[in-house]
Amino acid sequence: MAFDIDRFLRDAPLLTAPTKKVRVPELKHWFPEGEEPDWEVRGLTGDEIARANDVNSRIEVLRDAMEVIASAVRSNRGEALKEIMGLSDVPNDLARHFDHLMYGSVNPQISREAAVWIFKLYPVQAKSLIMEIMFLTNNGPDLGKLQDSTVTPT
C-alpha cells in the first residue's frame, strides 16, 4: 500500500507535538507552594532541531556581538554576558541542549539564559528533561488526538 500523501497533507496542519509532564522534585523550591514540581515538555519541530543544530554559526555571530559590547563598555561585562548566554567555551553538544530545553519547555516556557542556568545548576535534571523531549520528538505527533478530530460524520 502506498503512502497516502493527500491524507497526510490534509491531516498535517491538525497535528501537534505530544507533551508530557516530567516530575522534577529537585526544583520544587521554584514551584508555587502546594503545586507538584512538574515540568511540561513537548517534542521539537524540524525547524527547532535545525536551529539547535546550527549552533556553531549562531554562537559565532553572538560571540562577535558580545565582543563589540565588551569593548564598548571596557569591562568584563561582555565576558559575563557570554557566560550567562552560554556563549563561552561550551561544547557544541551542550549548546544544542540549551536550545532543545528552551524550545521543548511548555510549562514553564524558558529563555536560553534560563536553560543555561538550569544545566549549570541541575545538570542531571536538565538532561532528564532533554531525554524526554527527544523521546517525544522521535515518536512524532499524537495521532490519537488526530483521529478524534478527523472522524467523518455518518
Q: Domains of the chain: which residue ranges?
A: 39-139
d(Cα 8, Cα 56) in Å, to the nearest integer? 34
Query: What does the pLDDT look like over 40-92, one tens digit per residue?
Result: 999 999 999 998 888 766 666 666 666 666 666 665 665 666 555 555 567 88
Cβ atoms of residues 22 and 42 within 8 Å: no
pLDDT at 15 over 70: yes
pLDDT at 137 over 70: yes
Which residue reads 497533507 in cell numbers? 9
User: Between 77-84 and 55-73, two packed helices, what is the crossing angle to 10 degrees?
Assistant: 160
pLDDT at 39 over 70: yes
Q: What is the CA radius of gyration of the chain?
A: 19
Mean pLDDT score of the chain: 84
